[in-house]
Amino acid sequence: MLFALQHRGQESAGIVWTEGGAHKVDRRLGMVSGAADAWLSGTAASTGGIGHVRYSTAGGGGIRNAQPLAVECSKGSVALAHNGNISNSAALRAALTREGAIFQSSSDSELILHLISRSRARGIEAILRDALAPLEGAYSLCMLWGDTLAAVRDPWGFRPLHIAEKDGVRYVASETCALHALGPSISQREILPGEVVLVDEDGERSFFLPPAPRRARCVFELIYFARPDSRVFGESVHAARERFGEALAERDDVEADLVVPVPDSGNLAALGYARRAGIPFEFGITRNHYAGRSFILPTRAEREFAVRMKLHPVPEIVGGRRVVLVDDSLVRGTTSRLIVGLLKEAGAREVHLRLSAPELTGPCGYGIDIPDRSELISNRMNPGQIARHVGADTVRFLTTDLLKSRLAEPSEYCYACFDGDYPCPIRNGEGKDATCP
Ligand code: SF4
Whole-number Å distance, alpha carbon 318 to ligand 1 midpoint, is 34
Half-sphere exposure of 416 (CA within 13 A, CB side): 26
Are residues 23 and 152 both part of a single domain? yes
Cα-to-centroid distance, 16 and ligand 1 (Å): 29
Give 420 Cα–ligand 1 centroid separation in angstroms.
Answer: 10
In a domain, 102, yes or no: yes
| 339 plus 258 within the same structural domain | yes
Give the mean model confidence (pLDDT) for residues 392-398: 98
User: Does residue 253 sit in the same domain as residue 290?
Assistant: yes
Instruction: Taking residues 64-69, report their average pLDDT.
Output: 92
- 361 with 418, same domain: the answer is yes
Cβ neighbours, 10 Å, residue 405: 12
Atom of ligand 1 at shortest distance to CA of 367? Answer: 4
Mean pLDDT calculated for residue range 417-421: 96
Q: Is the beta carbon of 224 within 6 A of some atom in ligand 1?
A: no
Are residues 270 and 295 in contact, defined by beta-carbon separation less than 8 angstroms? no
Q: Is residue 425 part of a domain?
A: yes
Domain count, the chain: 2
How many other CB atoms sit within 10 Å of the CB of residue 251? 10
Quick one: 20 and 56 in the same domain?
A: yes
Mean pLDDT score, 404-424: 97
Whether residue 296 is found in the same domain as residue 185: no
Q: Is 132 in the pocket of ligand 1 (CB under 6 A)?
A: no
Q: Could you please report the per-residue DSSP string of 244-268? A: HHHHHHHT-----SEEEE-TTTTHH
User: How buried is 291 (Cβ within 10 angstroms: 0-12 exposed, 13-18 middle, 19+ buried)?
Assistant: middle
Q: What is the pLDDT of residue 434?
A: 36
User: What does the DSSP 8-state code read for residue 67?
Assistant: S
Contact at 8 Å (CB) between 414 and 158?
A: yes
The residue among 367, 362, 296, 371 whose CA lies nearest residue 109 is 367
Q: What is the mean pLDDT of residues 368-377?
A: 91
Distance CA(158)–CA(414), nearest Å, equals: 8
pLDDT of residue 366: 95
Would you say 79 and 66 are in contact if contact means Cβ atoms under 8 Å apart?
no
Digit-coded pLDDT (tens) for 225-278 = 999 999 999 999 999 999 999 999 998 999 999 999 999 999 999 999 999 999
72 and 127 in a single domain? The answer is yes
Phi, psi of 331 (to 5 degrees): -100, -85
220 CA: nearest ligand 1 atom: 8
Q: What is the pLDDT of residues 198-223, one digit of tens each?
A: 999 999 999 999 999 999 999 999 99
- State yes or no: cis peptide before 68, omega within 30 of 0: yes
* pLDDT score recorded for residue 60: 65
Q: Is the pLDDT score of 431 beyond 50?
A: no
pLDDT (0 to 100) of residue 406:
97
Q: Does residue 228 fall inside a structural domain?
A: no
Q: Supply the pLDDT for residue 75.
A: 93
Does 218 reside within a domain?
no
Q: Between β-strands 394-397 and 350-355, what pairing exists: parallel, antiparallel or unpaired?
A: parallel
**309/419 same-domain check:** yes
Work out the burial of residue 37: count CB atoms within 10 Å of its CB; fewer than 13 is exposed, 13-18 middle, 19 or more buried.
Answer: exposed
- pLDDT tens for each residue of 150-191: 999 999 999 999 999 998 899 999 999 999 988 877 889 999
- For residue range 287-308, what is the model confidence (pLDDT) as tens digits? 988 765 555 566 777 767 777 7
For the cut 50, the answer to whether the pLDDT of residue 109 exceeds it is yes
Q: Tell me: the pLDDT tens digits for 120-150? A: 999 999 999 999 999 999 999 999 999 999 9
**Terminal Cα-to-Cα distance of the chain (whole angstroms):** 37
Q: Is residue 20 part of a domain?
A: yes
Residues 346 and 408 both lie in one domain: yes
SS3 424: coil
Phi-psi region of 371 (alpha: psi -120 to 50; beta: other; left: phi over 0): beta
Q: Estimate the crossing angle of helix 334-345 against helix 383-390, to 10 degrees.
A: 60
Question: Would you say residue 253 lies in a domain?
Answer: yes
Strand partners, 325: 260, 353
CA pseudo-torsion sign 64, 65, 66, 72: positive
Residue 142 belongs to what H/E stretch?
strand 140-145
**Both 301 and 421 in a single domain?**
yes
pTM value > 0.85: yes
DSSP H stretches of helix in 18-82: 36-42
> Does residue 411 fall inside a structural domain?
yes
For residue 59, is pLDDT > 80?
no
Q: Residues 262, 157: one domain?
A: no
Residue 49 near residue 21 (C-beta atoms within 8 A): no
- Helix (H) and strand (E) counts in the chain: 15, 22
CA–CA dist 427, 90 (Å, integer): 7
pLDDT of residue 105: 83
Supply the range of the domain harboring residue 13: 6-212
Determine if ligand 1 sits within 6 Å of the CB of residue 364: yes
What is the tens place of the pLDDT at every residue in 21-57?
899 999 999 999 999 899 988 888 898 999 999 987 6
pLDDT band at 435 (very low <50, low <70, confident <90, very high): very low
* Per-residue confidence band for 430, with pLDDT thresholds at 50, 70 and 90: very low
The domain spanning residue 93 has which CATH number? 3.60.20.10
Q: Which whole number is the average pLDDT over 100-117?
A: 91
Look at residues 154, 179, 212 and tell me which one is the last residue of a structural domain.
Answer: 212
| CATH code at position 328 | 3.40.50.2020
Is 227 within a domain? no
Please indicate whether residue 248, judged by its CB atom, sits closer than 6 Å to ligand 1: no
Taking the CA of residue 248 as centre, how many other CA atoms within 13 Å lie in the half-sphere pointing to its CB? Answer: 35
Contact (CB, 8 A) for 177 and 204:
no
The mean pLDDT value of the chain amounts to: 92
- Which among 219, 222, 369, 404 is the best mutation to test ligand 1's pocket, defined by most ligand atoms within 8 Å of the CB? 219
Q: Can you point out the beta strands (E) in 159-201?
A: 162-166, 169-173, 187-190, 195-200
223 CB neighbour count, 10 Å cutoff: 23
Taking the C-alpha atoms of residue 201 and residue 219, their distance in angstroms, rounded to an integer, is: 36
Same domain assignment for residues 148 and 289: no
